[in-house]
Structure 1
Amino acid sequence: MNTNQQKVVKYYTNPETKLGFDYVLWGSKHFGFYPTGKVDVSEKEAQILHQDLVAKNLDLKENQIVLDAGCGQGVVSTYLAKKYGPKIFGITLVPFEVERAKERAKNLNVQKKTKYQVMDYSATNFPDNYFDAIYTTETLSHSPNIRKTLREFFRVLKPGGKVALFEYTLAPDEKFSEWEKKMLDVVIEGSAMMGLKDFRHDQFTGVVKNAGFENVKEQNITENIRPSFYRLHKLSRFPYKFIKLFGLQKFFINTTAGYEYYKMVSKGLFRYCIFTGSKPKKFAAKGKL
């Protein structure tokens, strides 16, 4: 396991991270989707709506073969397998997440519809043209080489197959204050989001196209995610007063992100977007790549 991979594992096994995801997000690794942009559903319901949005953007069907790239504890994949019926392969760098995902699949009776393993999504051992669909939910930013990862997605996706990437984008560096730059870098380093600065407002579709995908589209759903951002901001307010006072941000990455990132969202520095695309149906084995 290389240094970058070790950073990802370290982040997700950090006690603050594990406690936060388990007790604040119920094991989930993604935000909630609020259809009206207002808090008219619970956070748990909003997370389920987010998962349905994954299915909608992939046009999921029963018995399709799907890759969850960065599957976490299997919250999304088990839900999709149970409701929509595809066969989902979940991969992550974090061993304990694989065990949690398998346990969740067993509890939901979708063991035969899911398979979990430790694997780097930038260098998988899947054959060419294998998956009908691939998705990420706030995990692609952990890749230190986004372009390599997208090329790997392209390789293992069937011609005509779809990708749906639920990810953040950032404003240009010059839009950030010095403090915002500092906090951004602290969180990037502490949460192993090595690729985050490759996701720039209104530019990432070009990166996806350059990997070979066509029909690439971007949906900015920041306003639908904002209540979820704000919830974490509120939970972070009190502890962050002391964290900031004593300069302890790098030791409490998630609390720092919860507090600081919402302010960046409010200023338009952060967006939450869905990037979709497909592999050309006429792609040949020795095609564009």
Structure 2
Amino acid sequence: MASPTTAQAPAPAPPGLKEGIAGLYDESSGLWESIWGDHMHHGFYDSGEAASMADHRRAQIRMIEEALAFAAVPDDPEKKPKTVVDVGCGIGGSSRYLAKKYGAQCKGITLSPVQAERGNALAAAQGLSDQVSLQVADALEQPFPDGQFDLVWSMESGEHMPDKSKFVSELARVAAPGGTIIIVTWCHRNLEPSETSLKPDELNLLKRICDAYYLPDWCSPSDYVSIAKSLSLEDVKTADWSENVAPFWPAVIKSALTWKGITSLLTSGWKTIRGAMVMPLMIQGYKKGLIKFTIITCRKPGAA
């Protein structure tokens, strides 16, 4: 069920949540890669743009670059990130891109053994094994020491986190002093001052999406800002990129309706099929202004 606010203690993670998430991506990642490539996230488009199918992979790369620009991650050889963690890394599309862009060492974590194995194979095939390493791990209990990474990157994984405060706290913990944290995630709309929760029809729509995609409680962009500030993170910025991702879900549905998409979908498994069936609800959520595609960036305070 979607949560109206993070002001209260988070609900316990639903039983089997981690196993469900891992199973969904174990099952669906091969299909996604075969049709869309190795970036398992939205594309970024000019607002109101009519995009052709040929534009979508470029738009996924643009999403990465727009996020880096929004966070003002430096390209300067002396200041660029040298260590990166990709939290919820998928098959490592962002990990490999960031490793190549910055010459950085990149660690990726995912709940899916299939994704980790495939991502490491792709890194090896691209000659990046000495820079990129993916492993199975929980984002709420990262297997890294404090203060290790110059850039902490989470591209569309926050929506799977049952405890958003613990999630951001872990991102902050592993960030190096002065390090940049980038979260790109699905949120629900901010509540009006007169509201104590979302409307019943909004909660029902989100619940149907949650059930298909193994999503726990949602939160709003303002909730993320509050969490970041409570952790004394600095330079907290957020933006609503919902209009910039508007062409994405219609394109995913269109790709699923091709012969390759249909035959691949039917052989991929029930979790993937169920996810495909609720894709129109994502479009509905965006059109209603309920779902907000949000970027939140901040910086860990530098060393004294």
Q: 1:156 to 1:76 in 2, by over 3 A?
A: same
Relative contact order (C-alpha < 8 Å, sep 6+): which is higher? 2
The Cα shift of 1:108 comes to: 1.9
The Cα shift of 1:201 comes to: 4.5
Query: Which of 207, 219, 222 is equivalent to 2:242?
Result: 222
The Cα shift of 1:37 comes to: 4.0
Query: Which of 21, 35, 49 is equivalent to 2:46?
Result: 35
Contact persistence 1:186–1:250 (CA under 8 A): no
Deviation per residue, 1:179-221 (Å, 9 max, x gap) = x5334213213322214x1x21443211222233121110111
The Cα shift of 1:19 comes to: 5.2
**Residues of 2 paired with 1:251 and 1:85: CA distance?**
35
Match of 2:299 in 1: 278
Contact persistence 1:31–1:225 (CA under 8 A): yes
Deviation per residue, 1:92-137 (Å, 9 max, x gap) = 1111111111111122222211111111111122111111110111
The Cα shift of 1:237 comes to: 8.0
**Residues of 1 paired with 2:121 and 2:257: CA distance?**
34
SS of residue in 1 equivalent to 2:66: helix
Match of 1:243 in 2: none
SS of residue in 1 equivalent to 2:178: strand
Q: 1:251 to 1:8 in 2, by over 3 A?
A: closer
**Residues of 2 paired with 1:273 and 1:51: CA distance?**
13
1:141 maps to 2:159 = yes
Match of 2:73 in 1: 59
Match of 1:109 in 2: 127
Match of 1:122 in 2: 140
The Cα shift of 1:35 comes to: 3.2
**Residues of 2 paired with 1:253 and 1:81: CA distance?**
34
TM-score (norm 1): 0.83
- Which 4+ stretches in 1 moved above 4 angstroms? 60-63, 233-238
Q: 1:123 to 1:58 in 2, by over 3 A?
A: farther
Deviation per residue, 1:128-167 (Å, 9 max, x gap) = 1111110111101111111112111111111111101011
Aligned CA-pair RMSD: 2.6
**Residues of 2 paired with 1:154 and 1:200: CA distance?**
19
Alignment of 1:115-264 (within 5 A): 115-171=133-189, 172=191, 173-175=197-199, 177=201, 181-195=203-217, 197=218, 199-234=219-254, 252-264=273-285
SS of residue in 1 equivalent to 2:277: helix
Unaligned runs of 5+ in 2: 1-14, 192-196, 259-269
Unaligned runs of 5+ in 1: 239-248, 284-289
**Residues of 2 paired with 1:276 and 1:49: CA distance?**
17
- The count of corresponding residues between Structure 1 and Structure 2 is 267
Contact persistence 1:60–1:84 (CA under 8 A): no
SS of residue in 2 equivalent to 1:76: helix
Q: 1:256 to 1:158 in 2, by over 3 A?
A: same
The Cα shift of 1:34 comes to: 1.0
